[in-house]
Amino acid sequence: MRRLTLALTITLAFVACSRGSSLPVNDFTSLVRNLQDAGFNVASDPAPLEGLYPFFHEARVLLEGEPLAVYTFDTPEQATYGMKMIAADGSTVDGKAVNRADPVFYRMENMIVLFVQSATEANDYLKTILGESVFPPLPKGEE
């Protein structure tokens, strides 16, 4: 009985902490794997990429039903240049409108990730694995 109780306690602790642990994120695949391992619903996005996000061409999925776009650059320096093309409020990229309400941009090394503010639990986890949002900073109380 003690072994069963101990095993159940360890299992519950693992499940409770599973969203807090993550593997290193260094590309689109590792980002998706982290999100799935944390229990988030990640699905392929059937919407065409053309014209929706003028800046993000490489990869797109649905995270908890909301579009998550990822662009990976060859170098961190190129990603830094890419970040300069995003308006301070996140509404445009290189002068073109981001066709998404409340866009949030994250940056890690050579990746820029675009998501939406309204998905707060997913944003909390993205903040855990990618760091603070870059554009726009999330309002206090919604971080």
- Give yes or no for residue 80 having a pLDDT over 70: yes
pLDDT at 119: 74
Q: Count of alpha carbons within 13 Å of 95, Cβ hemisphere only?
A: 0
Residue 47 — pLDDT band, cuts 50, 70, 90?
Answer: low
Domain ranges in the chain are: 2-130
CB atoms within 10 A of CB 48: 8
Residues 6+ apart with CB under 8 A from 102: 116, 117, 118
- Give yes or no for residue 141 having a pLDDT over 70: no
Residue 129 — pLDDT band, cuts 50, 70, 90?
Answer: very high
Q: Name the pTM for this structure.
A: 0.72
Instruction: Tell which residue, 80, 72, 82, has the closest CA to residue 28.
Output: 72
